[in-house]
């Protein structure tokens, strides 16, 4: 898989592992607007609408600002 295309999770040594739970995503876009590294991109569309984010693993620094801003808890930090 090409990491530039996203995988739903990202990690860097010493930083958070960030995972997207697409089923919880409402498509509000708050994560895209808050990411200082522009490491989130809209993923493929899904039936019923919405485009859960994909994490650009080579861009994400693990700051977890997306985790804090997500109103539906669709982005989580996961222990490494």
> Would you state the pLDDT for residue 75?
95
Task: Locate 50 and state its tokens.
Answer: 């919405």
Q: Which domains does the chain have, with CATH numbers?
A: 3-78 (3.30.70.20)
Q: How far apart are the C-alpha atoms of 51 and 55, rounded to whole Å?
A: 12
Q: Which residue has the higher pLDDT, 72 or 4?
A: 72
Q: How far apart are the C-alpha atoms of 9 and 54, rounded to whole Å?
A: 8
Q: Which residue has the higher pLDDT, 70 or 3?
A: 70
H-assigned helices in the chain: 30-34, 65-69
- pTM above the 0.95 mark? no
Express each pLDDT in 14-68 by its tens digit: 555 788 999 999 999 999 999 999 999 999 888 877 889 999 888 888 889 999 9
Q: Which residue in the block uniquely carries the two structure tokens 């993923």?
A: 43
């Amino acid at each position: 898989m090409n990491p530039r295309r996203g995988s739903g999770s990202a990690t860097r040594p010493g930083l958070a592992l960030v995972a997207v739970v697409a089923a919880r995503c409402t498509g509000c876009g708050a994560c895209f607007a808050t990411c200082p590294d522009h490491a989130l991109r809209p993923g493929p569309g899904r039936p019923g609408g919405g485009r859960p984010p994909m994490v650009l693993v080579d861009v994400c620094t693990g700051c977890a600002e997306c985790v804090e801003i997500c109103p539906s808890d669709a982005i989580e930090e996961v222990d490494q």
